[in-house]
Amino acid sequence: MAISEITPSAVKLDKLVSRVADGDIKIPAFQRHFVWNQGQIIELLDSLYQDYPIGSILLWNSAEKLKATRNVCGFAIPDKAESYPVNYVLDGQQRLSTIYAVFCTDRTQSKDEAGAAALDLFEIFFDPETHAFLGSEELSGTGREFPLKSLFAIKEFVAEFKKIPEKYQDLITQLHEKFNNYEVPVVTITKRSKTEVGIIFERINSTGTKLTTLDLMVAWTWSEDFHLQDEIDELLEVLEGKGFGDIPEKTILQCLRVRLKKEIGGVLAESDGQINAQNT
């Protein structure tokens, strides 16, 4: 049996963006969709700017391609060749997605990607006057704010830099230096089975940001041939057509639990009956 490996590393922001854009990092199907609001996105950016630690990102490196995967925030990102190992995000999806979506220059979303995040969430600008990060609706109209999506793209950076009033250009240069030098702790695990990965995912998410019962059930029951969230979504579509589309997912889970308990109880009762008949 191969010994599993845990490899820690420190990865710069622009390198993380490039890895996602190249299809090197994907989201496994049992992960929830992107759920942060713009306030949380801006808080993360401010932590990066202040050189605060933001926690590590945990990746599972596997040469076996998962059939059910998603791209970060629903963006149209190419897939690697079949022979190329892929890194699946087990922890830190919201942070990684924010970093990629804010700093990438191409925000084309895939039409086939369900649960894609709203693109305007990631239109963030830096105000050198206040040292604050702003959404597109909060701009001063003075032309001093710098769009973060241009920070790591040389041509775009130069073009946007020239538009900034000269008295703020040094501050924009400092902004670039801060983000360009920031390193994110990335831990990569290898040689782990899908079963182990599901357990790792559940244990990591039992602390910190709480997952819903459905989130955990999706992780526990996930396989290449079955995805609980997809099954429930299809059921809700059917119920919507019958006027019951507002039934909570938790209620559906409770119904499934009752149904399974009855079926298991029936099988056990039948087995007991057969054993008793053999003994008489």
Mean pLDDT of the chain: 83
Cα 38 to Cα 129: distance, rounded to the nearest angstrom: 21
Are the C-beta atoms of residues 42 and 133 closer than 8 Å to each other? yes
Strands 69-70 and 25-28: antiparallel
- Tens-place pLDDT, residues 171-180: 999 999 999 9
CB atoms within 10 A of CB 157: 16
* 115 Ramachandran zone, left/alpha/beta (phi>0; psi -120 to 50): left
Are the C-beta atoms of residues 123 and 146 closer than 8 Å to each other? no
Here the tokens at position 35 are 């759920």
- Tens-place pLDDT, residues 43-54: 999 999 999 999
Q: Read off the pTM.
A: 0.74
pLDDT of residue 114: 66
Cα 124 to Cα 126: distance, rounded to the nearest angstrom: 7
Here the tokens at position 214 are 């459905």
- Tens-place pLDDT, residues 202-250: 777 655 445 555 665 665 565 556 667 777 778 888 888 888 878 887 7
Question: Which is more confident, 222 or 162?
Answer: 162
- For the ranges 38-42, 76-80, 96-100, the lowest mean pLDDT is seen at 76-80
Question: Which is more confident, 116 or 154?
Answer: 154
- Tell whether the model's pLDDT for residue 128 goes beyond 90: yes
- Tens-place pLDDT, residues 84-107: 888 999 899 999 999 999 999 988
* 74 Ramachandran zone, left/alpha/beta (phi>0; psi -120 to 50): left
CB atoms within 10 A of CB 234: 10
Cα 118 to Cα 75: distance, rounded to the nearest angstrom: 11
Domain segments of the chain as ranges: 5-210, 229-279
Cα 10 to Cα 171: distance, rounded to the nearest angstrom: 26
